[in-house]
Structure 1
Amino acid sequence: MIIDAWAQHPTLRQMQDPIFDSLRRWTRSRLPEAELPVAATLAQMDAAGVDRALISAWHAPRRTLIGNDEVAGFVAQAPQRLVGVGSVDITRPMDAVREARRCVQELGFRAIRVLPWLFELPPTDRRYYPLYAACCDLGVPFCTQIGHTGPLMPSEVGRPIYLDQIALDFPELVIVGGHIGYPWTDEAVAVATKHENFYIDTSAYVPKRYPPALVDFLRGHGRRKVLWGSNYPMLTPEQTLDGFDGLGLDEQTRELFLAGNARRVYALDA
């Protein structure tokens, strides 16, 4: 089994948002002109042998790029393949808490994700704290981006070391830091080593670009702390699995990395 821990089924307004212009330059992709059908996302999963994908909503300050109800609609089209991840606007903390509860209790989502660079606020900002408490009460992971940003926004808020303080304040909170944490991967590995409930996912990177510190962690004492992800549609699952065998993982580590850790962290067997 293969589970993609970080993906999106995008809306047209997300794909057309000017914030992603820099990514389009890197990937040399054209500005989309039509909505992407769910069947296209499933086809990309099939091409790489991916069984399930966690697809997320996207909320920015005072605007929605992919709505939670839209994600629920996508999941409804392929409930055996797609798993919902909610998102909220933390600039109004109590609204964010109420929406997080709706995502989990009514829409059946398995996690909540907030991207610090969209808000230009580090995870230690007071506006996140009610959401952390809500995630603990709901029993779902808090997912976030760590490392530099592709869009032309400040990267500092993505430093993994900020999450050390969050893990100290909320030891029962499961935290998943996506995008490896580069150029601060050593920080990410240190936080994951220190805190039982902190995990790293490899979305947005192909195996040949994994930093050596992460590969060493994955091969060794971090085999239960790293999840594979694609960051589809920016990268396809096929691209982010290309070169996987070159990591030199044993059979147990392969299974944990590609599926077992995600299944446990997101309670996908429940």
Structure 2
Amino acid sequence: MTSGDAVDVWMQQPTERFLAQPWLESLLRWTSMTRAVPRVEDTLAAMDEAGVGVGLLSAWHGPQGSLISNEEVAALVERYPGRFAGVVAVDLADPVAAVKEIRWYVRELGFVAVRVVPWLWNLPPNDRRYYPLYVACVEEDVPFCTQIGHTGPLCPSEPGRPIPYLDEVLLDFPELVVVGGHVGYPWMAEVLSLARKYPNFHIDTSAYAVHRLPPELVEFMRGRGRSRVLFGSNYPMVTPGRCLDRLPELGLDVEATELFLGGNARRVFDLRA
């Protein structure tokens, strides 16, 4: 499907703790996913099938504690060099420890980003508890990744609304690189207005098969937004192969396709070829 140069910017290698969460129930109804922990070999095979050379594996931390720990992600990155890159997750309730953790995993272990899923905390990204993390991301020169749009899990969607929440963050931190995952539907006008307003704001297509992307986002990808949209799957909820199965239907030219599949991600996350 692709040559192996693709980068999947939103993946998880779930743990039993993660898969036991009750909010996954709605996703289980919509997908073929089960609560069985996938083997890493199956994850790599799914990547290979779709031509994904590198997957960004995210840790998960919520109010209930660690669901996928940074240590577990680091072990996979070390075990499979060149195939995975780590994304830090931290405890918003302990900002001092969170900043120390970000610095450690970025400086010592080469993690490439920080992710906080706002619906997991029911806190929008302009909440004061995020702000020390933003300073750490700017100082360590790594992107802050978050979820935008409605939630598939049975949790409130409001924290994923782009305006006013992300708008205020991007105003307060003009140097902060932000990647909004899961497209941002149903607030596409807000998402695209932020992308046009702020050069450091990017969108990833995780959780969507590409033929189901909103038409206005596809139009953006074909034109001036070709450098601002990144491919992501949200594996194992959706496999990268399923996401990319009907890629030609987007009508992207060669440059836009290469940027979407990997070029933008390698630049934004400073991934070494």
**Alignment match of 1:20 (pick from 16, 24, 31):** 24
The 3 A distance-change label for structure 1 pair 131 and 15 is same
> Does 1:38 find its partner at 2:40?
yes
The 3 A distance-change label for structure 1 pair 193 and 105 is same
C-alpha distance in 1, partners of 2:225/2:84?
Answer: 27
Q: Which runs of 5+ in 1 are unaligned?
A: none
**Alignment match of 1:207 (pick from 194, 201, 210):** 210
State the match for 2:259 in structure 1. 256
Specify the SS of the correspondent of 2:52.
Answer: coil
TM-score, with normalisation over the residues of structure 1? 0.97
State the match for 1:6 in structure 2. 10
Deviations 1:80-139 (A, max 9, x none): 111111101111211211111122112210000000000000001000001000100000
Q: Post-superposition, which runs of at least 4 consecutive aligned residues in structure 1 deviate over 2 A? A: 28-31
Measure how far apart 1:36 and its partner are.
Answer: 2.9
State the match for 1:169 in structure 2. 172
Specify the SS of the correspondent of 2:224.
Answer: coil
- Residues 184-199 of structure 1 correspond to what in structure 2 (within 5 A)? 184-199=187-202
Measure how far apart 1:242 and its partner are.
Answer: 1.2
Measure how far apart 1:57 and its partner are.
Answer: 0.1
C-alpha distance in 2, partners of 1:10/1:74?
Answer: 12
TM-score, with normalisation over the residues of structure 2? 0.95
> Does 1:240 find its partner at 2:243?
yes
Give the number of aligned pairs: 268
Report sequence identity in percent: 58
C-alpha distance in 2, partners of 1:60/1:31?
Answer: 19
Specify the SS of the correspondent of 1:143.
Answer: strand
Measure how far apart 1:258 and its partner are.
Answer: 0.4
C-alpha distance in 2, partners of 1:168/1:30?
Answer: 41
Q: Which runs of 5+ in 2 are unaligned?
A: none
C-alpha distance in 2, partners of 1:30/1:179?
Answer: 21
**Alignment match of 1:83 (pick from 85, 106, 113):** 85
User: Is 1:38–1:77's contact at 8 Å kept on the other side of the alignment?
Assistant: no
**Alignment match of 2:142 (pick from 134, 140, 145):** 140
User: Is 2:62–2:91's contact at 8 Å kept on the other side of the alignment?
Assistant: yes
